[in-house]
Structure 1
Amino acid sequence: MPPLQPLAASGLSLVAAPVLVLVLVLSGCGGAAVPGLGGEDAAEAAETPELGACRDLTPADVAQPSNQTETVPCAEPHTAQTYAVGEVPDDLRDLDHDDDAIGAFAYETCTEKLQGFLGADQSLALRTILSWAWFRPTEEAWAAGARWYRCDVVGGNDQLEELIALPETAEGLLLGRAADRWMTCVDGETVAEGRKVPCSQPHDWRAVTTIKLGEDADPYPGDRLVEVRTRDFCSDSVGAWLNYPVDYDYAYSYFHEAEWQAGNRRSICWARTPD
């Protein structure tokens, strides 16, 4: 994915500075292929995964395109839960298992289904510490005819050394007022130089609002227009969120055309606050 373009500002005057931005992790869209499987392992890889199953995955696991980690009872410690499974569309079935078109389908499908599963709107889904990973059959299983996909909600993001344990079920986890432990903050002088942490931990920045920059059918308006609209909105939005102080620090991040084409229409506003 191309890098996102963020800026930071103090008060109402823009000060250019790099800022790390929040984006739902597309883990499982690439990475090294898993070793070849045979026998019972190959048969297991060809089977459609179980909806609702829980697994104790690691960051290394979610970096792989395929995963056959054993499931665990959801009442036991786990870091991932399968919230969507299905078959790839007919027009993608004859493609290679790592074709970009399949990744684009998984991005759109897993993103949409994640919001419904967690009980989050688009804005909240962009600001949660939770992420998702998608998995496909191994190359050998794909060649044998397996065409399933699997979307897992994951406790954490790509900056955490260890993933966060999920509750027995993550369904509806963000309904109502989401707990700070599930929201994204940054610990550091700037968002770029800091690290993303749950807002229940000490932090300096919080992702507080987002702005929708277009509808699904709209063409990409260009980097400059996206930046200006994001900057102007975040200046006002963060000021309002902080209850209109005399001076305040805010940051904003916006996406480029590649993310727009993948379906993202929102930029993110950050408030400098330890709360």
Structure 2
Amino acid sequence: MRRWTAAVAVGGALALGLTGCGLPGGVDGELTNNWQPIAEPSPFVPPAEVCHPGDFAETAYLSSYSPVDCAAPHRIETVHVGAFGAAAAEAAALPTQDSAEIRAAYAECDTKTTEYVGADWRLGRLWVGVAVPSPAAWEGGARWFRCDVTEVTNVEDNGGTASRTASLRDALAEPSPLHLTCYGVRNDSNGAIDTMPAEQCDQPHNAEFAGVWQAPDIPYPTRDRDWSQFHAECRKVIGRYAGVPLDDNLQFRTGVISLPGGAAEWAAGNRGVRCYLWLNERNVSKSLKGAGADGLPIQFE
């Protein structure tokens, strides 16, 4: 019995030895020639249509990236993520805020935000910014830019950002509390505009949002001569809004408030100027949209 068992064991060893000399079907003996190459690591690209709890920052650091569902409290919503063009993509450093690359990115964000919210975003209490990767992420190959939109409490008085619990998608597609309407302008002791709180149009007010003038590529206004051009163009917006002739008498029908964004936004490419008719100390209790010459009569005093 022991001899038979030993013979079987030896035979098994011989069989294993013989088997090791051949290869199973479909095996060529090369260990690496069918391996897929390891993909090059790619930089992080943030998704669109997500919300963020913090305030807007021009530089988006991965360490502070913590998106939330738009039904949760948030202040910023990313509506689009784009890619810089070839000139910027080949640059070693991030484009500056007044560069052609940032202006192109802002123009894309402008268009995408308007599509996202359902109308020109400047018609509402909204603000748009372009966020870029951190310098370290740029060095690592990140070439994206983020289009962020936020609701503000009052665009006229440089209001703060509002906390929301709903997405801004199609927020301006229908009439909503976000739309700019009527205001009660209050002057300071020198006669300059001090505050401009929103009012219901059926309540006494002396100012009303009339529309947006898209300015050409001109310098940001700093002198009275610069502002004169802005006011003249906004008066045309007001005249079309109220339905009155765009003639020399228009200046006697209404005052005007011209509100571009800040100088930094202007440098980045925001050329939209919000235009408001202003009755100074005269109050009305209705909207003057389409009111015509009777609703906006000539006032020589």
Alignment TM-score, normalising by the size of structure 1: 0.61
Structure having greater relative contact order (Cα 8 Å, sep ≥ 6): 1
CA distance in 2, matches of 1:55, 1:129: 18
Aligned residue in 2 for 1:194: 195
Does structure 1 conserve the Cα–Cα contact (< 8 Å) formed by 2:73 and 2:163? yes
Does structure 1 conserve the Cα–Cα contact (< 8 Å) formed by 2:60 and 2:134? yes
2:276 is aligned with 1:269: yes
Map 1:163-174 to 2 at 5 A: 163-174=161-172
CA distance in 1, matches of 2:108, 2:184: 31
Please give the secondary structure, in 2, of the residue aligned with 1:152.
strand
Aligned residue in 2 for 1:97: 94
Unaligned stretches of 5+ residues in structure 2: 1-40, 220-224, 245-251, 287-301
Which whole-Å deviations, capped at 9, do the CAs of 1:106-149 have from their partners, x for residues lacking one?
2211111111111114xxx3232111122111011111111111
Larger Rg belongs to: 2
Alignment TM-score, normalising by the size of structure 2: 0.56
Q: Which amino acid aligns with 1:226?
A: Q
Which whole-Å deviations, capped at 9, do the CAs of 1:149-176 have from their partners, x for residues lacking one?
1111111158224x22335221111113
Please give the secondary structure, in 1, of the residue aligned with 2:256.
strand
CA distance in 2, matches of 1:253, 1:159: 14
- Which residue among 165, 180, 183 is the counterpart of 2:180? 183
Q: Which amino acid aligns with 2:117?
A: L
- Which residue among 120, 134, 158 is the counterpart of 1:138? 134
Q: Which amino acid aligns with 1:230?
A: E
Does structure 2 conserve the Cα–Cα contact (< 8 Å) formed by 1:110 and 1:151? yes
Aligned residue in 1 for 2:150: 154
Map 1:35-50 to 2 at 5 A: 46-50=43-47
Q: Which amino acid aligns with 1:77?
A: P
How far the C-alpha of 1:224 sits from its partner, in A, is: 8.1
How far the C-alpha of 1:81 sits from its partner, in A, is: 1.2
- Which residue among 209, 217, 230 is the counterpart of 2:233? 230
Aligned residue in 2 for 1:36: none
Matched-pair identity in %: 19
How far the C-alpha of 1:90 sits from its partner, in A, is: 1.2
Does structure 1 conserve the Cα–Cα contact (< 8 Å) formed by 2:258 and 2:273? no
Q: Which amino acid aligns with 1:171?
A: R
Change (3 A) 1:248 1:223: closer
CA distance in 1, matches of 2:68, 2:267: 37
- Which residue among 82, 89, 92 is the counterpart of 1:86? 82
Unaligned stretches of 5+ residues in structure 1: 1-42, 242-246
CA distance in 2, matches of 1:202, 1:82: 37
- Counting matched residue pairs gives 215
Aligned residue in 2 for 1:54: 51
Please give the secondary structure, in 2, of the residue aligned with 1:181.
coil
How far the C-alpha of 1:202 sits from its partner, in A, is: 10
How far the C-alpha of 1:189 sits from its partner, in A, is: 1.2
What's the Cα RMSD here?
A: 4.2
Change (3 A) 1:229 1:195: closer
Change (3 A) 1:198 1:72: farther
2:255 is aligned with 1:250: yes
Does structure 2 conserve the Cα–Cα contact (< 8 Å) formed by 1:57 and 1:69? no
CA distance in 1, matches of 2:194, 2:237: 20
- Which residue among 201, 208, 216 is the counterpart of 1:206? 208
Please give the secondary structure, in 2, of the residue aligned with 1:109.
helix
Which whole-Å deviations, capped at 9, do the CAs of 1:70-116 have from their partners, x for residues lacking one?
11112212222111002211121133214232321222111111111
Does structure 2 conserve the Cα–Cα contact (< 8 Å) formed by 1:230 and 1:267? no
2:59 is aligned with 1:65: yes
